[in-house]
A and B are shown apart, each in its own frame.
Chain A
Amino acid sequence: MKFRSVFDIIGPVMVGPSSSHTAGAARIGRVARTLFGRQPDWAEIRLYGSFAETYKGHGTDVAIIGGLLDYDTDDERIRTAFDEAEQVGLKFEFITESEEPEHPNTAKIRIGDADGEMELTGISIGGGKMEVTELNGFTLRLTGHYPALLIVHHDRPGVIASVANALAADGINIAHMECGRKEKGEMALMVIEVDQIITDSMIRLISDLDNVTQVSILAD
């Protein structure tokens, strides 16, 4: 079941003109910002497929920059996101790719600052919904049929158990789960698809667990 809530149908409230090319694009940018954890200094955005063909007319570019500035789909500042980016010192570049993507609405976002960088690939699947398919070269094999959580954490014993316990305590069942890390003891990733909707309070609860650095919803 890809659509779970009535507000997936009657919603989102958004700046036009396209739920997939504007609202979905803003959400991809915003997930990148959330996972990066701070305002990046620069961004390099590659657009593929229909995004590359029609981004200008749909405001896909301003929407992604708006997302990187942490604007939601209904934030009217999306329209002037380029100006706002200049004011806060976010330099950006858009590159259109002719390569045929797996999904027609694909964006690859590389962002960074003096302290680090991050790369994320997102797809906009319609009605404003989006999914993350790749993070820092780590392919995320999401089915898209369930709400999904992405958790960035330190590679330490017990972190996975503490997250699983927090979900279980709230009656949330794990449908699929993937774990990965770059180096032993370094940054690790958990991708968890669950059967129930993830509430904001659950995200806060997991964020507060020891050794967890970032939590984001990848497909809602």
Chain B
Amino acid sequence: MDILFSTVKELVGLAEESGRPISEIMIEQEMLITKRSREDVIAQMERNLEVMEEAVEKGLKGVSSTSGLTGGDAVLIQNYIKSGKSLSGNLLLDAVSKAVATNEVNAAMGMICATPTAGAAGIVPGTLFAVKDKLNPTREQMINFLFTSGAFGFVVANNASISGAAGGCQAETGSAASMAAAAIVEMAGGTPQQSAEAFSIVMKNMLGLVCDPVAGLVEVPCVKRNAMGAAKALVGADMALAGVTSVIPTDEVIEAMHRIGRSMPSALRETAKGGLAATPTGKRLEAEIFGKKAEESVVD
């Protein structure tokens, strides 16, 4: 199959040689692989953007999951921002609350767009809709934000993993936060190389994160990992825009994530048998929700 890039090095190289943004390289590759028209590809991404907007809007009104484990935190954070007491900054907390909003809607079986998975679906839209208020992007630039995120995610999915069952949470929220950081940099006017640096800086700080959902549900700690993923994405993007670079090249960071994922025991890869899922409270909640005996879920 004809592809333009399979590594971040190739992706950044193509963008820099041609003087075009990463989002444009992604659109071109999509047209090449799927034989679809540019209009068609962009229209589908716009539909995804609309689903993300609706999910954030719904989550900010307050939702609750069927298990009752999650819901309502996005509203609490928005109210706190309005109180004017925020220490970490309104834009950062806005991204956090919008990431939480999306994941709360997901946990409530609402409609979302997986980025790259449903469990990590809050980070890319959360950061996009928060920086939107500061950078005032056009609709086209917002769609491009998703293509740039997708370009980096494409490399991770094919060279490592985006599945918690295969690579732990680092593969899900780790990938999402790193993808978002790269896209924020492009929207803020950074270079393709700076996008790659932002990706690396964030991914390096997500390495080793395990997937240990309580009762196997995409709720605890998933919602809050999306919250902190959004925060890291913004900070990582700012660091790259300030000129900070990663000592380890992006493709090697991705390879490290892959290796770490492979060496994680299965109890820490979406089986709900280790980590937070195996705490006394985690096991009690599982028993309450599914009516199972708590002893059934013993730690390895």
Contact = CB atoms under 8 A, between A and B. Distances in A.
B157 A7 contact: no
Nearest to B165: A104
Contacts of B47: 13
Interface in B136-178: 146-147, 149-151, 153-154, 157-158, 161-163, 165-166
- Assign chain A's interface to a size class: 35 or more
Interface residues of B, number: 59
Contacts of A127: 114, 116-117, 157, 162-163
Interface string B90-122: 000000000000000111111111111111010
Nearest to A16: B106
Contacts of B124: 10
B113 A19 contact: no
A5 B30 CA distance: 6
Interface string A1-42: 111111111111111111110110000000000000000000
Nearest to B156: A9
Contacts of B8: none
A76 B114 CA distance: 15
B181 to A, nearest CB: 15
A57 B33 CA distance: 36
Contact of B107 (A2, A3, A10, A17): A17
A50 B108 contact: no
Interface in A109-165: 125-128
A170 to B, nearest CB: 9
Interface stretch (A82-90, A179-187, A195-203, A207-215): A195-203
B216 A53 contact: yes
A54 B272 CA distance: 9
Q: Which 3 A-B pairs give the minimum distances between C-beta atoms?
A: A126-B163, A54-B216, A16-B106
Interface of B: 1, 3, 6, 26, 29-30, 33-35, 41, 44-45, 47-48, 51, 65, 67, 105-119, 121, 124, 146-147, 149-151, 153-154, 157-158, 161-163, 165-166, 179, 215-219, 270-272, 289-290
